[in-house]
Structure 1
Amino acid sequence: DLIFKTAFQAPTPTWTLPQMLWLRNNEPRALKRTRHILFVKDYVRYLLTGEMACDSVEAQGTLFWDMRAGRWSDALCDLAGIPPAALPRIGRPTDLAGVITARAAADTGLRAGTPVILGASDSAVEDYAAGAVAPGQCVLKLATAGNVNVMTAKARPHRETLTYSHVVPGLWYTVTATNAAAVCQRWYRDTFCAPGTSYDAIDGEAAQAPPGSNGVFFHPYLQGERSPYWDANLRGSFTGLSMANTRGDIARALLEGVAFSLRDCYRTIEKMKLSVHEFLLIGGGAKSALWSDIVCDLFNAPVKCPACCDASFGSALLAGVGTGIFADEISAVKQCLRFDRELRPDPARAAFYNARFAHYRSIHDAMSGCYRGLAP
């Protein structure tokens, strides 16, 4: 209760606090020698500027951050046995962190004195880059992992979600997430396809199969699962196979299974009664026209696909705000955002997938207990 009430997150191995707790219990000497704790991007920035700092959004992903007070929590740091002084100073994502040092200039070729902005975590800047800057916008992310992120006017902490402030001051977002999304297709390609097989070739095979993959279902629990089950014991599965099925059926079932998992995440958003009026689809998987159409039909709503929305684009916009090129965060994204395409659901396929989603969930419910005790 202390952790959730203070940090707005339920404790899981995702967070920094449990990882530091593991160090305290298993490698106490390493933790005792630790003087400074930095996150990966912040360490890279430290090498460039000589300044130790972190943004307020990244800090919220640690379980050390007091969401109401807006500072490191002494009580939560005590749980892991680390002094708050070991953690970096905190600023806004658009704050100046420092400038490129002479040494960093020599090492990288960047110009000495170039200002460096704090930035934020990948998910935060991706949502921002996609144009999700108002309450009710929902980002569907088909990347290595999958996300369903809903922008809100205030923090809406829930034990089955993640809660973060947005890079736009005063805005928040609620996160539900599946551990394995586009990485499932990479696993399928690397494990079952001939060397050199392209994703376009896999999509081509999948497109030959009908919606529903001739009865094959895929559950993408290759790394356990977060939303909505929070069950590390879950494992991936293909079910419904028969001698009549083809490689195309299996390839399409994989795409549908990941889309079903995103829709499963969205059930928590519905349970929380969060208002959603627009869907934005991002991530490497969104480059697949077939996969994008499946997601659109499953959510039975129009879906916009930004032309450029990766973390580097969002970070560049924040840098522009921090250095005065843009007036503020919202004007920056509105000046630069372009959309590649807008999808609309097919009513017949949407109804079909809605019925299939009920089967997808029933298969999870029937099989979830089978995996307990089997995971290595």
Structure 2
Amino acid sequence: MIVGIDIGTQSLKAVVLSPEMKIIGEDAIAYQPDFPQAGWAEQDPGLWEKALGPAIHGALQKAGRKADEVKALGFAGQLDGCIAIDASGSPLHPCLIWMDRRADIAGVDADQVLKTCGVVLDATHLAAKIRWLKRNAPDVTRAAKFHVPVSYMVARVTGAQVIDHATASTSMVYGLKSRSYDEALLAAFGIRAEELPEAMDSAALAGHLSGEGAALTGLRSGIPVAVGTGDDFSSAIGAGLVAPGRFINVLGTAEVTGALHREAVIDPQRLVETHAFLGGHYYIENPGWLSGGALVWFRDTFGLASFEELTRLAGEAPPGADGVTFLPALSGAMAPEWIASARGAFYGLTPAHGVRHLARALLEGMSFAMRDVFDRVKALGVEAHALRIVGGGARSALWTQMRADLLGLPAETPRHLDTSAIGAAVLAAKASGAIDDIGSTVVALNPVARVALPLAQNAESYENAYRRYRQLFSSLRPLF
């Protein structure tokens, strides 16, 4: 059996695969991030460690299997976090997670970062956070390594200081062409190469479970552990995105969208980033805006009982929400432009509008941001003839249909929607020698279960609403 782990923002998930590569058990342990002040977002790495054993135990219990039957372990998880560890491997501070925007990027050449790394110069990325910590956290003078959440957990359970090429390519100091850290950008951020984990393939063997790792996981020591990858990439792998042709939409706490391409195309408009990926492909993606998190905000703000009630209310309003428009920028805009200081907004309200119109506009606004990314990816020459939707939001038939209508493409949802831990497990299966081919394995493991075809009668309403959304963004841009 193989165990895959996803270190999420709001929970740690575990999945168990049988020797036949079937999902036979899943479990999750919830926790929350901290927001010490505006623009800051942190998480105690101890939360992940404490959740690890119980999540694995719960998944094994549901599978009806024992811990000593597990043959390999893989990790995936949230990108763009930053944790400094000391020589003993202990964290020196809370993790600055992906939502954290306190970092300093002044003086770094944005064009150089884009050309070399394929990414946008942004405070959320690893190198900026390392620089902030070095300048503002006194304990970091004792740092032996700087990790992202996945590489941190792999180090904790194996002692190996490794990171995969895809996750390294989000750091702002990794060269896409050289497949190594770039000396000029390391110098620009004040980082030494030896302070970062070694870049390896995500399906490579990182090491074997140590005694400490066995204590944290409840598994037997000595089993293989894969290098693993960030959740943007593992979600795509677990959803079956292993070759070009499909545009993926991951509806989690954040909404990640993108597609695979055979070439490392760079977006001069800086809407999408380019990352290393399995099989020599490149993942052309937007790392996402607050999406599931926006639903949580709306549910709590308007006193709704559940997400199902939110979806039901949205379904009572027509496409276009009778003229109400929502900008999905509660934590800054990521589409149609990256503007960290942008803020969310509802526009078009009259006394005739109610909560159902706001709920509909909320779902549509995030779908419009997806359309921004899709149009940009296509303009860069990336193939996309179908939409693959995963994550918790994919359980909503309304949201899935909305996106199919907006793009004019069939929207596919696979059998299993929480795909990051599945991707982690498949990488572990490859690293341990349990499988030879990731692509054929994951397609058989998680086949398409439902397809929503675009409805022609909704096309005009959505086109009009999308134009209003773009006009509203342009009009409010001076305020951002």
**Equivalent of residue 174 in structure 2, options 65, 68, 79:** 65
Q: State how 1:112-261 maps to structure 2 within 5 Å.
A: 112-159=221-268, 160=270, 161-167=272-278, 169-194=279-304, 197-261=305-369
| Most deviating of 313-322 and 259-268 | 259-268
Which residue in the other structure is 1:364 paired with?
473
Q: CA deviation at 1:200?
A: 0.7
Q: Deviations over 1:258-282 (max 9, x none)?
A: 1112112223223323222221111
Which residue in the other structure is 2:392 paired with?
284
Which residue in the other structure is 2:160 paired with?
51
Higher helix share: 1
Taking a change above 3 Å as real, the CA distance of residues 369 and 178 of structure 1, as seen in their structure-2 partners, is: farther
Q: CA deviation at 1:177?
A: 4.3
Residues 163 and 174 in structure 1, CA contact (< 8 A), matched pair in contact too? yes
Residues 286 and 292 in structure 1, CA contact (< 8 A), matched pair in contact too? yes
Task: Find the aligned partners of 1:319 and 1:107 in 2 and give their Cα distance.
Answer: 18
Instruction: Report the secondary structure of 1:146's partner residue.
Output: strand
Instruction: Report the secondary structure of 1:277's partner residue.
Output: strand
Instruction: Report the secondary structure of 1:37's partner residue.
Output: strand
Task: Find the aligned partners of 1:266 and 1:334 in 2 and give their Cα distance.
Answer: 23
Residues 176 and 268 in structure 1, CA contact (< 8 A), matched pair in contact too? no
Instruction: Report the secondary structure of 1:32's partner residue.
Output: helix
Residues 206 and 248 in structure 1, CA contact (< 8 A), matched pair in contact too? yes
Q: CA deviation at 1:94?
A: 1.0
Q: CA deviation at 1:115?
A: 0.9
Does residue 304 of structure 2 align to residue 304 of structure 1?
no
**What amino acid is the match of 1:359?**
R
Q: CA deviation at 1:99?
A: 1.1
Residues 178 and 262 in structure 1, CA contact (< 8 A), matched pair in contact too? no
TM-score normalised by length of structure 1:
0.93
**What amino acid is the match of 1:49?**
T
Task: Give structure 1 regions of 4+ aligned residues with deviation exceeding 4 angstroms.
Answer: none
Residues 245 and 386 in structure 2, CA contact (< 8 A), matched pair in contact too? yes
Instruction: Give the total of aligned pairs.
Output: 367
Instruction: Report the secondary structure of 1:179's partner residue.
Output: strand
Task: Find the aligned partners of 2:388 and 2:217 in 1 and give their Cα distance.
Answer: 36
Residues 321 and 332 in structure 1, CA contact (< 8 A), matched pair in contact too? no
Q: Deviations over 1:156-213 (max 9, x none)?
A: 122412111222x21111012441222211100111215xx11111111211112222
Instruction: Report the secondary structure of 1:62's partner residue.
Output: coil
**Equivalent of residue 40 in structure 1, options 149, 153, 158:** 149
TM-score normalised by length of structure 2:
0.73
Unpaired runs of 5+ residues, structure 1, are 372-376
CA RMSD in angstroms comes to 1.7
Higher strand share: 2
Which residue in the other structure is 2:112 paired with?
2
Which residue in the other structure is 1:345 paired with?
454
